[in-house]
């Protein structure tokens, strides 16, 4: 890394560093407010630099209109000139055309589509995004330098040789521990942007992952409005990852986002997803014993799948249809609730066939007397109950549980309780 010696103007025991032709602001071209940062040279001499105060890491640089057209590259470094940019040098080069009115038209030389686009310049024209970059390492003896870094600007000649143009110190956040928040939203038009009419989705897990160790360092579940948050973040190279059930949702934004300056300032990352239209069309016991139902079972080879269930007869004996259609018809037709296990078996078999034949997605939700659940979870509970007790006549201790499971499956097979 090339070491830059700042231009110093001596004034008694304090030295002020001359301004550089780099203005930092947000994507809309609004310049950040300024503070100052000081570095001792030789006590009691201290030199100070103006320092842009950025609320978050989405920082854009505007070039002074006195600079010529050409190829410019930036580096984001800590106060010890250690490169902390997350981008390779080739992705930090911009072709900048001086418009003659104090503004520049800018285009990133790299064509990588995932890189941030240009913003608005402080006085018009374009500005170049400096993110993503990592948080600088903490200096125990200088807590005032937490999240302080600098951008170095270079002009490249035709051979790629860099000439230093200027630099600017900046700080992300106010120096307090960082935070991260966002919303997992239903992206109804699938454009990857959250709009006013697009609400959030609760119950989605969002993890904060350390990229160094690969470990989850914090986890949150979205609230009813789809919101999540992490507070008190330490400095790290980290990513935020949303966990989406791909059978229920299609992601419309990246699901794994590497944070810029993790631990510095308040950051916001929203995740978009589009809910798939699940097919939830049940068919009854009567359908699965008629010719059309049996033809589907035979053509799909579903007899073996039925044999994996804990199906029972009136006496509580294990039942396996083994492809015998007459036996199958008789078993379904005779199903009744004297032995509740028998009736539960018939309803479970019908729903298993609905799932196997594709008319019911296992992630479909049903309303039960115990609250909403997926049909897959309901079927698993029914199969476990049959395995534990295959004979539940009147007054049996396990009869009531099996009755509730049977009623929920019966309602779903008759399309009465889908959510």
pLDDT tens column, 24-35: 999 999 999 998
Q: What pLDDT is attached to residue 17?
A: 40
* DSSP-assigned states of every residue in 208-275: EEETTT--EEEEEE--TTSEEEEEEEPS--EEEEEE--TTTEEESS-SEEEPSSTTBSEEE--EEEEE
Rounded to an integer, the average pLDDT of 302-330 is 93
Q: How confident is the model at residue 107 (pLDDT cuts 50, 70, 90)?
A: very high
Query: Degrees (nearest 5) of the Cα angle 337, 341, 344?
Result: 75
The tokens for 91 are 């992705």
**Which of 13-22, 276-285, 299-308, 364-373 has the lowest average pLDDT?**
13-22
Res 12 pLDDT > 80: no
Q: How confident is the model at residue 10 (pLDDT cuts 50, 70, 90)?
A: very low
**Which of 37-41, 239-243, 298-302, 340-344 has the lowest average pLDDT?**
37-41
> In degrees rounded to 5, what are phi and psi of residue 363?
-90, 5
Count the Cβ atoms, other than its own, within 10 Å of residue 308.
10
Work out the percent of the chain whose per-residue pLDDT is above 90.
62
Q: What pLDDT is attached to residue 142?
A: 86
Residue with the bigger pLDDT between 140 and 310: it is: 310
Q: What pLDDT is attached to residue 97?
A: 97
Q: How confident is the model at residue 42 (pLDDT cuts 50, 70, 90)?
A: low
Res 13 pLDDT > 60: no
Res 48 pLDDT > 90: no
Q: 175-216, pLDDT tens digit by residue? A: 787 899 999 999 989 999 999 989 898 888 999 998 888 899
Res 327 pLDDT > 60: yes
- Nearest by Cα to 352 from 412, 291, 295: 412
Rounded to an integer, the average pLDDT of 357-366 is 88
Res 4 pLDDT > 80: no
Q: What pLDDT is attached to residue 37?
A: 84
Return d(Cα 125, Cα 179) in angstroms, integer.
32
Q: What pLDDT is attached to residue 294?
A: 93
Q: Helix or strand or coil: residue 183?
A: strand
CA 252 to chain CA mean position, Å: 10
Q: How confident is the model at residue 15 (pLDDT cuts 50, 70, 90)?
A: very low
* Residue 230: strand pairing partners: 180
Query: Degrees (nearest 5) of the Cα angle 348, 350, 354?
Result: 110
Q: How confident is the model at residue 5 (pLDDT cuts 50, 70, 90)?
A: very low
Rounded to an integer, the average pLDDT of 235-242 is 88
CB 219 within 8 A of CB 206: yes
On the CB side of 206, CA atoms within 13 Å amount to 28
Res 407 pLDDT > 60: yes
Return d(Cα 347, Cα 351) in angstroms, integer.
6
**Based on the number of CB atoms within 10 Å of its own CB, is 335 exposed (0-12), middle (13-18) or buried (19 or more)?**
buried
How high does pLDDT run on average in the chain? 89
3-state DSSP helix/strand/coil % of the chain, to nearest 5: 20, 35, 45
Q: What pLDDT is attached to residue 275?
A: 83
Q: What pLDDT is attached to residue 1?
A: 38
Q: At what angle do helices 375-388 and 340-356 cross, to 10 degrees?
A: 140
Q: What pLDDT is attached to residue 45?
A: 65
Q: Helix or strand or coil: residue 401?
A: helix
Which residue is listed with tokens 């790290």?
A: 236
Rounded to an integer, the average pLDDT of 305-311 is 94
CB 177 within 8 A of CB 263: yes
Domains of the chain with bracketed CATH: 8-172 (no CATH), 178-274 (2.60.40.10), 285-413 (no CATH)
């Amino acid at each position: 890394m090339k070491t830059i010696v700042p231009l110093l103007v001596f004034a008694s025991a304090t030295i002020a560093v001359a301004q550089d032709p780099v203005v930092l602001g947000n994507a809309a071209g609004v310049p950040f407010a300024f503070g100052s940062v000081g570095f001792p040279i030789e006590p009691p001499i201290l030199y100070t630099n103006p320092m842009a105060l950025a609320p978050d890491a989405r920082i854009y640089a505007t070039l002074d209109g006195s600079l010529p057209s050409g190829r410019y590259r930036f580096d984001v470094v800590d106060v010890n000139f250690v490169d902390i940019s997350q981008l390779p040098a080739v992705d930090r080069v911009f072709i900048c055309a001086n418009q003659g009115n104090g503004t520049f038209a800018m285009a990133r030389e790299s064509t990588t589509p995932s890189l941030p686009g240009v913003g608005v310049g402080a006085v018009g024209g374009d500005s170049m995004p400096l993110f993503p970059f990592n948080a600088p390492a903490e200096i125990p003896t200088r807590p005032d330098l937490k999240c302080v870094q600098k951008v170095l600007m270079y002009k490249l000649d035709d051979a790629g040789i860099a000439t230093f143009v200027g630099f600017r110190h900046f700080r992300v956040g106010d120096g307090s521990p960082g935070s991260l928040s966002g919303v997992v939203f239903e992206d109804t038009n699938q454009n990857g942007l959250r709009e006013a009419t697009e609400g959030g989705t609760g119950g989605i897990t969002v993890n904060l992952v350390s990229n160094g160790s690969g470990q989850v360092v914090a986890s949150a579940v979205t609230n009813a409005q789809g919101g999540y948050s992490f507070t008190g973040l330490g400095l790290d190279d980290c990513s935020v990852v949303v966990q989406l059930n791909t059978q229920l949702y299609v992601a419309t934004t990246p699901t794994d986002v590497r944070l810029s300056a993790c631990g510095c300032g308040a950051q916001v990352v929203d995740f978009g997803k589009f809910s798939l239209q699940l097919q939830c069309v049940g068919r009854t016991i009567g359908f699965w014993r008629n010719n059309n139902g049996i033809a589907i079972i035979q053509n799909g080879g579903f007899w073996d799948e039925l044999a994996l269930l804990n199906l029972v007869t009136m006496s509580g004996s294990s039942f396996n249809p083994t492809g015998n259609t007459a036996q199958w018809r008789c078993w379904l037709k005779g199903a009744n609730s004297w032995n509740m296990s028998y009736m539960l078996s018939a309803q479970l078999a019908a729903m298993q066939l609905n799932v196997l034949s594709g008319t019911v997605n296992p992630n479909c939700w049903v309303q039960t007397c115990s609250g909403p659940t997926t049909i897959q979870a309901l079927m698993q509970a029914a199969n476990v109950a049959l395995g534990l007790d295959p004979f539940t006549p009147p007054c049996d201790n396990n009869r009531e549980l099996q009755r509730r499971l049977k009623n929920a499956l019966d309602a779903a097979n008759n399309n009465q309780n889908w959510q």
